[in-house]
Amino acid sequence: MAASILRVFSNWSPSTSLLQPLRGPKLRHAALWNSQTHSIRRLCVRSLSVQDEGNAIESLAMDLALKAGTMIKDKSGLALQVDTKESRFDLVTEVDKACEDFLRTQVQEKFPNHFYLGEETFTDQEFERLRSGLKDSEWTWIVDPIDGTLNFVAGMPLSVVSIGVALGQNMEIGVVYNPFNNELFYARRGQGAYLNGMPIKVLPHDTELEDSTVSVGFPSKPEWRLRMLEDIGKVAPNARSVRALGTAALHMSYVGAGRIGCFFEHNLKPWDVAAARLIVEEAGGKVTDMNGNVLPLTAGSILASNGGILHDRIVQLVSD
């Protein structure tokens, strides 16, 4: 549509014969109109530029997810070096780091002006930059090279690559790839969500909790695990079943695909949810904090659901 508008304004100019008889205020009004049309043309050009850049970003994100996924699949359960981060429950392997280095290098090579925030290489300054607010014209890659590292170390086929890209404060592109069953979930703002090229949708909005599978995650910090157990105790008696797969991005992608009704977890980081958040939203679902409020890019406690009565029910149960 933007291209069509641009062609219209490119081929149109005010008639000289119409402007000649104008004098005084009328001429000023005509000049103002002419100035406004040029502003619209510039806006259209900028929109086309953003669209074209978005297309290139989307293509690269999917390509990188597939390549990093191959690295994960080939090394699952075979990690030679396993280190800890914040606690002995929070693991990182040489494969996490290798995938991160590969992804960051490729992004910075193709888009040197883009901001990149990755789980294994982020700095406090980079995280604060995300927290303090990004410029509307700024592209930001938010990446988790292996979401589900504990599963990866154990050789369990439940690890994914998560690549989200924001423009300003809005997620624009989300890609989540599970290499173990070759499922590529992806979404583009305003263009829907897809699984291996086929459109996906969340469960119907009138689905009740009693007819839904609820998925949860357990943070690495013990105090947050206790909080999760408390909240699960409020929700589980009312749900059809409860599942914990060990990867937030995959849980949320399953919400988008209508496989489960909702997912919630406390103390998540931006790279855990950035990509899958857009997948849920573009599939017709809803993503908020646990109180039902808008979720910032920095994440935190999160509730992702089909967006219907189920979402409100979880918020109510947890708040009681």
Is 146 annotated in a binding site? The answer is yes
Q: Report which secondary-structure segment, H or E, holds 178.
A: strand 170-178
Contact 270, 298 (CB under 8 A): yes
d(CA 39, CA 56): 26
What is the C-alpha separation between 76 and 87, in angstroms, rounded?
Answer: 22
Instruction: Look up 136 and say whether it is catalytic.
Output: no
Query: Are the beta carbons of 162 and 143 closer than 8 angstroms?
Result: yes
Residue matched to tokens 């509730």: 303
Is 147 assigned a catalytic role?
yes
Which candidate in 144, 172, 231, 281 is catalytic?
A: 144
Answer yes or no: 211 catalytic.
no
Q: What is the CA radius of gyration of the chain?
A: 23
272: annotated binding-site residue? Answer: yes
Say whether 149 is catalytic. Answer: yes
Residue 147 annotated as lining a ligand binding site: yes
Catalytic residue among 58, 96, 119, 281: 119
Q: Are 266 and 292 spatial neighbours (Cβ–Cβ below 8 Å)? A: no
Active site residue 144: yes
Options 57, 140, 142, 149, the catalytic residue? 149
User: What is the SS3 assignment for 104?
Assistant: helix
Distance CA 174, CA 198 (A): 15
Residue 144, annotated as binding a ligand: yes
206 labelled catalytic: no
Q: What is the DSSP string of 222-286?
A: HHHHHHHHHHHHHHGGGSSEEE--S-HHHHHHHHHTTSSSEEEEEEE-HHHHHHHHHHHHHTT-E
- Burial of 40-61, coded b for 16+ CB within 10 Å and e otherwise, reads ebeebeeeeeeeeebeebbebb
For 71, other C-beta atoms within 10 Å of its C-beta total 18
Which of the residues 57, 72, 142, 146 is marked catalytic? Answer: 146
Which one from 120, 272, 281, 282 is the annotated catalytic residue? 272
Given the structure tokens 């390549």, which residue do they identify? 67
Which residues sit in the known binding site for Mg(2+)?
119, 144, 146-147, 272
Which residues sit in the known binding site?
119, 144, 146-147, 272
**Catalytically annotated residues:** 119, 144, 146-147, 149, 272
